[in-house]
Chains A and B, each alone.
Chain A
Amino acid sequence: ETGVTQSPTHLIKTRGQQVTLRCSSQSGHNTVSWYQQALGQGPQFIFQYYREEENGRGNFPPRFSGLQFPNYSSELNVNALELDDSALYLCASSRQGMNTEAFFGQGTRLTVV
């Protein structure tokens, strides 16, 4: 059983640029959620994807967008990067159903300069 994998592990971008982060969900999981973890803070929920559609969103602006593919992998896109977007971005996969739990990837460290 493969775990949740994210790529790249580290990334440096310039303010105003766009970035795409990728996540492969764990085998058997059909739901992917994305989180932003600023330094010294707890993760904050960005959005969730299920059946290739957004299924809930946190308090993040529209320049944060995502995709889910038929194989349940997912992308997080951030446009017009700002310095405050510097953070660890975590992907979590799970499956729909009672008594489930989310499994996290190791994250992508994004630095905006």
Chain B
Amino acid sequence: AQSVTQLGSHVSVSEGALVLLRCNYSSSVPPYLFWYVQYPNQGLQLLLKYTSAATLVKGINGFEAEFKKSETSFHLTKPSAHMSDAAEYFCAVSVDTGANSKLTFGKGITLSVRP
């Protein structure tokens, strides 16, 4: 069975500062990894995905993540935070090569951005 651990439930950064949201996974087979963002009272929007191609994945809104097999990590970063980045962020793993929609999510991290 696969699992995801997101360290810390809340991260606060200043506008313009580096954003780093951590995600570690556990999987017995090569995983597919995803980061989703959720704004209040909204569904989930895909930021980026890793599907065994390049280990450094670039996503929307300036976010990127690096797959590190040796560390079983898939941390999300953004060089400069914007106020509009304030939201809930979820890391997810899938071992479903069918449709990548049997996802196991972490508990999420709330990102706050200070002016």
A98 to B94, CA, bound (A): 12
Q: A interface, how many residues as a size bin?
A: 20 to 34
Within 66-105 of A, Cβ neighbours of B (below 8 Å) are at 90, 92-105
Nearest-CB residue, chain B, relative to A32? B101
Q: B interface, how many residues as a size bin?
A: 20 to 34
A101 to B43, CA, bound (A): 15
A4 to B9, CA, bound (A): 28
- Asked whether any CB of chain B lies closer than 8 Å to the CB of A55, the reply is yes
Write the nearest CB–CB distance from A89 to chain B, whole angstroms: 10
- Asked whether any CB of chain B lies closer than 8 Å to the CB of A111, the reply is no
Where chain B touches its partner, the secondary structure class is loop
Q: From the candidates B4, B46, B49, B99, name the one contacting A95 in the complex (CB within 8 A).
A: B99
- Asked whether any CB of chain B lies closer than 8 Å to the CB of A2, the reply is no
> Are A55 and B43 CB-contacts (below 8 A) given A41-B108, A45-B103?
no
- Asked whether any CB of chain A lies closer than 8 Å to the CB of B42, the reply is yes
Which residues of chain A have C-beta atoms less than 8 A from B92's C-beta? 42
> Are A96 and B99 CB-contacts (below 8 A) given A41-B108, A42-B105, A43-B44?
yes
B101 touches A33 (CB 8 A): yes
- Asked whether any CB of chain B lies closer than 8 Å to the CB of A8, the reply is no
A95 to B97, CA, bound (A): 11
A102 touches B99 (CB 8 A): yes
- Asked whether any CB of chain A lies closer than 8 Å to the CB of B58, the reply is no
A48 touches B102 (CB 8 A): yes
B107 touches A101 (CB 8 A): no
Nearest-CB residue, chain A, relative to B4? A42
Which residues of chain B have C-beta atoms less than 8 A from A103's C-beta? 46
A112 to B19, CA, bound (A): 37
A50 to B96, CA, bound (A): 13
A31 touches B101 (CB 8 A): yes
